[in-house]
Amino acid sequence: MSRILEQMETPALLLDEARMERNIERMRRQVERLGVVFRPHVKTNKSFEVTRRMMSSAQGPITVSTLLEADFFAARGVRDILYAVCIAPNKIDHVLRLQAGGVQMSVLVDSVEAASLLGERLRAHPAGGGVGVLIEVDSDGHRSGVRPESAQLLEIARALQAAGVALRGVMTHAGSSYDCRSAEALRAMAEQERAQIVLAARRLRAIGIACPVVSVGSTPTALAAEHLEGVTELRAGVFVFFDLCMAGIGVCSLHDIALSVLATVIGHQREKGWTLLDAGWMAMSRDRGTASQPVDQGYGLICDVAGRPLPDYILLGANQEHGIMARRPGTAPDALHLPVGTQVRILPNHACSTAAQYAEYQVIAADGQLSESWPRFSGW
Amino acid sequence: MSRILEQMETPALLLDEARMERNIERMRRQVERLGVVFRPHVKTNKSFEVTRRMMSSAQGPITVSTLLEADFFAARGVRDILYAVCIAPNKIDHVLRLQAGGVQMSVLVDSVEAASLLGERLRAHPAGGGVGVLIEVDSDGHRSGVRPESAQLLEIARALQAAGVALRGVMTHAGSSYDCRSAEALRAMAEQERAQIVLAARRLRAIGIACPVVSVGSTPTALAAEHLEGVTELRAGVFVFFDLCMAGIGVCSLHDIALSVLATVIGHQREKGWTLLDAGWMAMSRDRGTASQPVDQGYGLICDVAGRPLPDYILLGANQEHGIMARRPGTAPDALHLPVGTQVRILPNHACSTAAQYAEYQVIAADGQLSESWPRFSGW
């Protein structure tokens, strides 16, 4: 492996296939145990080769964060897609084109305003009746959605009814799970996410509105949930690669992280203890997600070329194409000297943002050999 | 304009052509006044349409931050390219291919180790003699380079000589100029950058080594320099668009910023004063460059669809595809309510990182009309 890696121009995005497969298998077992439909989120990987390994069938279902993701996977045979961002009016035509092309599309609303507007547009289009509409529920105060106990929840459902649209269901995302700091907190957050969405479904049913889909998901809550009574489907995406943020909250170990950035030593500032790498923030992204965690990993944790962490070395700073590798602040400097040309791997803070900087994954197969390149896409 | 913008799916990257032209003209006048060669940096824009407007001739010269940029512009007729990151051994073959293809390539070293290694590889290749080698000088302790007064500077030059490589010159980048907070500090930093690189050239010449090229550059120092005596060329890139970081250090005004992200209101959390947008960190990048400035602009400053700043509204938080627009912390909430579907523009913290999230610029022409799409590229 290392001879081929050495010839590779850097930076490059490496994907450890065995780790990825193990992460997928872990989630598969959890979903089976919980007895729900799994609707993997493709926003982290944006790659057919990765997503097809996550899906329960070649037709899906999947969750997307952009309509470009929907286009891409629809063109490759996926037939059941949830677009998990509240719908903007300028995207409704696009959704209708996908629906008319034979894809079961589902979209979100979280206001009477959006529900009425959407209802009108769906009614005016021959494919509109097929589009699934879900109400986004706010289970943790994290970003969008209506509170499950609010009057608004019922008003939105009635606005859809008035527009002649049958409600498909309710969904929530416990994004606050990323701030949890213990297994106990994660379990509690998973239960909060479940209880809140089930409450929303129950309140809708109590006023005679059917609510077939009850959808939850985030990688931390998905893996921490003890049971999902009343929930019908689970969404998660970043688990496929994991990252330092997930390791920082205890959802995975460093050895589960399947993505790394291959970089090369290009110089030193010896008196400062700096090793300069050809991977800066363009290669890692500007994501500093571990900055708010107990262990700040800078722009990433440094490993040798085989993937073994170098104790306490992080990417301390980053310019566009320069990375500054150094010992973690507060640790004693040591005598490590990596000659110019030495390759290292850098584990990323956040798989979604780092992967987004690349057009392909360089896959390290289970036998440790560099095997294929898997394309990925970006944009909207 | 606004009718066409309204039909556009969001997020999208808008480029105000008149502002860009004005920024280019400002730099052109400054370069003329300073009497140096201008070698624009393409790392911010990565677009033929933008770069051709910055170049002094269709053949260049230009500065690049990746060899993909070199490939792209070489294929479009540019014949003089400086790769401004110290060369990694795994990139030397690539440089030699470009040189053999008729491009005058220049590369950087900042150690005896790298100089010897590079010298050996250049000597062994028929095109190697043509590659320009510059020594990177550290004028401000910012990242890479050798100090102009160091013994190392002369040792590197001698190592090149021993390898049979003629030194092309010296270069420096005063990256610390981004931390300046006044016009006076910027002028002083520009003079420091100039004085340090001229010192390096003088010391090399004093031991009989020719040093034809003396290169400086950063957008803040380029625009602040009072004179560039002893310098032969100037590099700068971000000036073409400017951004909130540049405005924050007083290098430009908000009205000079040529890039913005078009986004749409998708919901509200009224009791929190939040307006949810369909532009999160994927649309803005994770860059929080203004966080360390006197005015923290969050993930960007909100303007109406015509580009007029909404007083004290910023993108306070960001998830992957969700942006949280709110009044700046510490300001009183007001009664502004933007209905679902309203479009806004967001000025970015950092043009380089935000532009990198997009595959094209949507150009607003001087008459205010949406005119063309200009492609841009990413990666290495």
- Looking at this predicted complex, what is its ipTM? 0.97
Per the structure block, which two tokens stand in for A231? Answer: 């929930």
| B35 closest CA partner among B217, B234, B223, B224 | B234
Q: Between residues 57 and 96 of chain B, which touch chain A (CB distance below 8 Å)?
A: 65-67, 85-91, 94
Work out the average pLDDT over B16-21: 98
Neighbours of A184 (CB within 10 A): 10
Least confident of B198-202, B328-332, B359-363: B328-332
Say what the pLDDT of residue B5 is.
85
Structure tokens at B186: 């910027």
Q: Do A357 and B378 touch (CB under 8 A)?
A: yes
Q: Give the dihedral sign, CA B247/B253/B254/B259.
A: negative
* pLDDT (0 to 100) of residue B257: 98
Token pair, residue A80, equals 């059941």
* One-letter amino acid of A228: L
Q: What structural domains does chain B harbor?
A: 2-13+258-375 (2.40.37.20), 35-240 (3.20.20.10)
Is the omega angle on the peptide bond into residue B220 within 30 degrees of 0, that is, cis?
Answer: no
Determine which of A111, A143, A288, A354 to mutate to test the interface with B (most B C-beta atoms within 10 Å). Answer: A143
Q: Other C-beta atoms within 10 Å of B295: how many?
A: 11
Q: Which residue has the tokens 């320069």?
A: A322
- Average pLDDT score over residue span A172-201: 96
A335 pLDDT tier (thresholds 50, 70, 90): confident
pLDDT for res B2: 56
**Is A85 close to B321, i.e. CB distance below 8 A?**
yes
Nearest to B340 among A65, A111, A266 (CB): A111
Does B340 contact A276 at a Cβ distance shorter than 8 Å? no
CB contact under 8 A, B90 and A286: no
The chain A residue lying nearest B323, using CA atoms, is A143
pLDDT digits (tens, 9 = 90+) for B113-147: 999 999 999 999 999 999 999 999 999 998 999 99
Residue B353: which of A89, A281, A321 has the nearest Cβ? A281
Task: Compare all CA atoms of chain B with the CA of A238 and give the residue at the minimum distance.
Answer: B320
More confident residue, A311 or B209: B209
Q: Are strands B132-136 and B167-171 parallel, antiparallel or unpaired?
A: parallel
Q: Assign B3 a pLDDT band (cuts: 50, 70, 90).
A: low
pTM for this structure? 0.97
Q: Is the pLDDT of residue B226 over 70?
A: yes
CA distance A309 to chain B (A): 22
Beta strands at A132-136 and A167-171: parallel, antiparallel or unpaired: parallel
Of A9, A10, A380, the CB nearest to B11: A380
Task: Report the residue count for chain B.
Answer: 380
Mean pLDDT of all residues belonging to chain B: 96
Q: For an interface test with A, which of B282, B361, B362 has the most A Cβ atoms less than 10 Å from its Cβ?
A: B282
Q: Do A88 and B321 touch (CB under 8 A)?
A: no
Rounded CA-CA distance A44/A30 in Å is 20
- How far is Cα A10 from Cα B328, in angstroms, rounded to an integer? 40
Give B-chain residues touching A113 at CB under 8 angstroms: 339-340
A89 and B264 within 8 Å at the Cβ level: the answer is: yes
247-276 in chain A: CB under 8 A from chain B: 264-269, 276
